Amino acid sequence: MTTPNAFTDFVAGFEQLLAQGSALTAALAEPAVLPVVPDDAPVCLIFSPHPDDEVIAGALPLRLRREGAWRVVNVAVTLGSNRGRRAARWLELRRCCDFLGFELVSASGEAECGLERIDPRSAVADPAHWGNCVARVAEMLRLYRPRLVVCPHALDGHPVHIGTHGLVMDALPAAHANWPMHVALSEYWNTQMQPGLMVELDRQDVVDLVGALSQHVHEVARNPYHLRLPAWFIDGVRRGAERVGAAGDLAPGYRFAALYGWLHWTQGALVPMPARNLPLSDPAPRLFA
């Protein structure tokens, strides 16, 4: 039998945290404290494949909302494949967005009704349907004129995540965007080979994101992935040290970080930005000034 030591206590601490987390409920979470958004605030548009992706991709938008009073608008691209759950998922999504101070709109233009068949296969098999969806997203880009767009990266594992990436990529040229705009590529089901931005988070950021994710009550009941979100941000520091940084670089002293691809839309094309870290000491809005 292995003799307990300091490493046993260290690992057991994580087990204990997960056990304690099972007692946490959405009702115990306190909404994020955020500044009032001015009328002329810059806009961040999050294109979320499913309800809950607004949180999973929401680390950078939350810092912009908190540090620069940006207007963050979550676009619900779909409401999932289970039609019987869509009304309930919309209500959970509404509570989550209110919790984070994000606005909520549906990509379809109708509450409780997202777009259908957003996946790579549909883009090829039904070009008329795909073209209508692209036109809808392009219309939203023209309406909001975002300074930052957030969507999944091209190989994010789930067909709807990959489809959402393709949808936004097709909509950018269709929108004829002629204003300064950045694109942040989020990740969840698959990590990306070349993230370009590591965003440090503080304890309160992570508290707010976990609390917001808990508002998706039925989803986290079947899989308590909200309790593993802090560990995912911890691992973001490990990967970011040598994926955003160079192999062999000294890891920054962050405790939590989220990783994104980082591109700039200019002259009708997306151009990769130089890889960099965004520490808490550097206000997030300055990155997109």
Predicted confidence (pLDDT) per residue in 163-192, tens digit: 999 999 999 999 999 998 999 999 999 999
Task: Catalogue the long-range contacts made by 120-129 (C-beta closer than 8 Å, 24 or more residues apart).
Answer: 120/159, 120/162, 120/163, 120/166, 121/159, 122/163, 123/163, 123/166, 123/170
- Quote the pLDDT of residue 84: 84
Confidence check: pLDDT of 39 > 60:
yes
Tens digits of residue pLDDT in 61-85: 999 999 999 999 999 999 988 888 8
Contacts of 161 (CB under 8 A, 6+ apart): 49, 53, 152, 188, 189
pLDDT at 133 over 80: yes
Sorted by where each starts, the structural domains of the chain and their CATH numbers stand as 41-279 (3.40.50.10320)
Average confidence score pLDDT of the chain: 94
Enumerate the β-bridge partners of residue 197: 260, 276
Supply the pLDDT for residue 4: 76
pLDDT for 135? 96
- 3 pLDDT above the threshold of 80: no
pLDDT, residue 203, reads: 97
Nearest-angstrom CA–CA distance, 262 and 284: 14
The yes-or-no verdict on residue 54 having pLDDT over 60 is yes
Retrieve residue 142's tokens: 């023209």
Count of H-run helices and E-run strands, the chain: 10, 9
For residues 76-109, one letter each, b for 16 or more C-beta atoms within 10 angstroms of the residue's C-beta and e for the rest, the string is: bbbbbeeeeebeebbebbbbbbebbbbbbbbbbe
* CA atoms within 13 Å, Cβ hemisphere of 100: 38
Exposed/middle/buried for 74, CB within 10 Å: 0-12, 13-18, 19+?
buried
Percent of the chain with pLDDT over 70: 99
Q: What is the pLDDT of residue 113?
A: 84
C-alpha 223/C-alpha 227 separation (Å) is 9
- Kindly tell me if the per-residue pLDDT of 1 is higher than 60: no
pLDDT over 90 percentage in the chain:
88
Specify the pLDDT at position 188: 96
pLDDT in tens, 136-166: 999 999 999 999 999 999 999 999 999 999 9
Residue type, 8: T
pLDDT in tens, 208-264: 999 999 999 999 999 999 999 999 999 999 999 999 998 888 889 999 999 999 999
**Residue 86 near residue 111 (C-beta atoms within 8 A):** no
What's the pLDDT score for residue 147? 97
Residue 132 has pLDDT above 80, yes or no: yes
285: Cβ contacts below 8 Å, ≥ 6 apart: 42, 64, 67, 68, 70
110 pLDDT above the threshold of 90: no
Q: pLDDT value at position 242?
A: 94
Task: Give the closest residue to 52 by CA, choosing from 18, 70, 26, 71.
Answer: 26
Is pLDDT above 90 for 109?
no
pLDDT at 81: 81
Residue 2 has pLDDT above 80, yes or no: no
Q: How far apart are CA 56 and CA 232, in angstroms?
A: 10
